[in-house]
Amino acid sequence: MSSVPPKVLIVGGGPSGLIFALALLQNGVPVRLIEKSSDPRIGQRGAGIMPRSLELFTTLGLADKVLKLAIPTPPVRMYEMPEGIHPIHEFEMAPRVNPTPPCPFLNIVLLGQDRLEKILHAALAEYGCHVELGTELVTLEQHKYGVDVKLLKRGMDMSSPGVPESASYEYLIGADGGRGVVRKLSGFTFLGETKNIKNLVVGDIHVEGLSRDYWHMWGDANSILISLRPTEVPTLFNFIIAGRDVNHSKLSTDKEAVRQLFMKNTGTKTNLKFTQVAWLSYYTPNIRMVDKFDNGRVFLAGDSAHVHSPTGGQGMNTGIQDSFNLAWKLALVVRGLAPYSLLKSYTEERLPVIKEMLDRTTKILNRTFKENHHSEGWESSGELLQLGVNCRWSSIVIDERKQAELAEDADFADFDFGDESDEEKPDEEKIDSYGMRAGSVLRAGDRAPDAPGLIPRMTGSKPSITTRHLFQLFGSSYHTVLIFTPALAQCLPILKALAIYPQGTIRSAVIVPPGRPVPPQSAGADFVLEDRDGHAHEGYGINEKWGVVIVRPDGVVGAIVGGASGVREYFTRIFGRKTTL
């Protein structure tokens, strides 16, 4: 374990906090991670893992471990109450889709949050970092150079008075959930609404005699709806009990009442045996969010910044994207490699995404509880896979290709073609955080697509690789500069420009077409790869002019430019005017 004192305190040991800690550690920034609860988390809450999250897990080196334990989303079977024997309707909650070259993950997988957190704990342990359970944040006070905190350490005995501790950190991250204290102590707003009529009882229960090949649902959310979803653990099912005819408060404290409700409403002829209730909880959907994600040296991520309906499966996934967006930026600032102003892009990039996410999940919730509505409200559209989430409007991304196209459109618009309404003209500046323009040309601010079929032709200063995918080249602690065919003539100026930036923060890769000899000017690149099947050139929309794509550590396209000048302009926005070798 490093003897360097931690510079960042992360409050909250859920997925958002764990991902944040791991990303900072991979960037060489020591952290401290505390959690008020003394007990390890149990339960299947937040089990749906979206394809975009699997891509981020790939960058962190965890995707294989997650996929080894996760299960696919099963089809849904609907039954009538109280008989509950024969299904009256079947549908796919998330229809299976075959992967494509730019999108190797296109299917939602299910893994209990407790299992996911164990994977993350093990990854943190490799860096000597462990979650300090039973450690509570009591107060915090910001000043010019950091944040002073007072903690109370109870360890595994929550009944003890605890041991007080005072400490100071350069930055503090609040990932302590919707009821956490960081947001409250720091003066953030948290506006929204509470859906009091749509209470849910959720939990896990062991069931014998129920097929694990289906997600089972009985009844209607307008009266009583019971959902039993199989998990990666044999006989264990995650349940949701909803509806106006449900005594939510009683059920949330009475495990035997839960078992009796299942027996009564799923039919006595089913021969199902409901045994141990692993956990249960009373859930009232809140739809709330902050109006900014930063306040001085305090930042929020995950549920501490936004809470919403569980419908749509966006919560945990959105939270870890918060963490991934900020971690690499904060690491550069903490290491003195970038100005504090870089951190302002966190709120700028994430706030529109969260607003759109809350709108979408709330619409699904409302459809689910609509009069005489059965199944459609529970179905997730392809938009919710989060592959279209973007930040095209960000002030730190550069898209010279887009700028050139807009300039051409402006020249074209000088001609008078008669009366044409503004509604018929494309609005490229409109914020579209969930990527409704699916299939459009790649823009700076979009997720960086994968590309298989890459053949290593030469490696420079970096270790030899046997990569076949671009995703295997990306990393959480450095930008990846992809130099395609149109920019090969500028390869030397580009590599020379990259040489002035902080060591270890950038990797370069020259991508050559199939059969093309290795150009001598690419000798200084870290990697030279042959795009055997053309997937990289196609996925990144490479044409005769725009041949340089810069991929950020969070897997977002930071820049699409034509040459060295665009590269310098982008990294000036990241590192500032002053650079160090």
What is the C-alpha separation between 578 and 411, in angstroms, rounded?
37
pLDDT in tens, 97-137: 899 999 999 999 999 999 999 999 999 999 999 999 999 99
Strand order in the sheet with 31-35: 132-133, 31-35, 8-11, 171-174, 298-300, 294-295
Report how far residue 554's alpha carbon sits from residue 330's, in angstroms, rounded to the nearest whole number: 12
Nearest to 368 by CA among 227, 499, 486, 274: 227
What token pair was written down for 444? Answer: 């700076």
Query: Are 181 and 304 part of one and the same domain?
Result: yes
Percent of the chain whose pLDDT exceeds 90: 58
373 found inside a domain: no
Confidence of residue 76 (pLDDT cuts 50, 70, 90): very high
Within-domain flag for 517: yes
Q: Which amino acid is at 475?
A: G
Q: ∠543-548-549 over CA atoms, to 5°?
A: 105
Are 331 and 28 a contacting pair, CB within 8 Å?
yes
Q: How confident is the model at residue 139 (pLDDT cuts 50, 70, 90)?
A: very high
pTM of the model: 0.90
Q: What is the 8-class DSSP label of residue 303?
A: G
Same domain? For 424 and 483 the reply is yes
Q: Domain containing 467 — which CATH number?
A: 3.40.30.10
Residues 536 and 446 in one domain: yes
pLDDT at position 430, please?
53
Mean pLDDT of 301-313: 81
- 74-88, 191-205, 270-284, 285-299: which range is least confident on average? 191-205
Q: Does 450 lie in the same domain as 329?
A: no
* Structural domain total, the chain: 3
Q: Say whether pLDDT at 225 is over 70.
A: yes
**Do both 21 and 135 map to the same domain?**
yes
Q: What is the pLDDT of residue 371?
A: 47
Q: Predicted confidence band at 492 (pLDDT cuts at 50, 70, 90)? A: very high
Neighbours of 493 (CB within 10 A): 16
Question: Does any domain span residue 96?
Answer: yes
Rounded to whole angstroms, how far apart are CA atoms 176 and 189? Answer: 16
**Between 371 and 147, the higher pLDDT residue:** 147
The closest of 310, 376, 318 to 352, measured between CA atoms, is 318
| Residue 429 binned pLDDT confidence (cut-offs 50, 70, 90) | very low
List alpha helices for 381-449, DSSP H.
400-413
* Contact indicator for 451, 531 with CB cutoff of 8 Å: yes
Same domain, 151 and 292: yes
Neighbours of 19 (CB within 10 A): 32
The answer to whether 471 and 554 have CB atoms below 8 angstroms apart is: no
Least confident window among 16-25, 99-108, 377-386: 377-386
Confidence at residue 422, expressed as pLDDT on a 0 to 100 scale? 39
Dihedrals phi, psi of 214, to nearest 5 degrees: -135, 155
Domain assignment of residue 84, given as a range: 74-107+199-283
Q: Which of these three, 234, 263, 283, is where a domain ends?
A: 283
Angle, in degrees to the nearest 10, between helices 113-125 and 15-26: 20
Beta strands in 212-314 (DSSP E): 215-220, 224-230, 236-242, 273-283, 286-289, 294-295, 298-300, 306-307
